[in-house]
Amino acid sequence: PAYKQEDYQSKEVSALSFDEKQIPISIIAHQDVDLSRPNPLLLMPYGVSDGFLESAFSVQRISLLERGVVFATCQVRGIDGPQWFLQDWELGIPLSVSDFTACIDQLLLLGYTNTNKFAIAGEGVQGMLIATMVNKHPEKFVVASVRNPLTDIADLFIKDQTQSSLGDKDKL
């Protein structure tokens, strides 16, 4: 189908993290989707460390929207690079995890979705955040997609061309 901007609706909401910081959440859905009731929703973080989520036009996202899936992104802290990393260590907790958890909770509270229709996804550094969420809060969603070779140890051993930031993979 041809893309027509008027076929989609968008909203901006925010979540309050544990330290009173507002975490922005951008939501987009097809006009036919009733956002006042729970819908399938895919949440992706951006801003984690030096990670990057391209906000440009995406055929894959449009395909999801056409099928009634709500797409949301949240700007967890981490976009600030080294200062964020140091603040993380000073507080003793990963801000990206607390921010992302607050965003999940807010989307559930606002009724955009429920735990049976909630999916989270990330790649690269964001994938590490998603993997952490799978371990810390698996009850909050039903699907988690992680695209990060460091979360797939078998992949490190199978693909000789894989370059790992872990260094020598023989030491794993």
Q: In which residue ranges of the chain is pLDDT below 50?
A: 50-52, 79-80, 85, 92, 160-172
Measured distance CA(77)–CA(79) in Å, rounded: 6
pLDDT in tens, 79-124: 445 555 455 555 545 778 889 999 999 999 999 999 999 999 988 7
Q: Which residues pair with 122 in a beta bridge?
A: 146
pLDDT at position 37: 97
Token pair of 103 as six digits: 């965003």
pLDDT at position 168: 45
pLDDT at position 127: 79
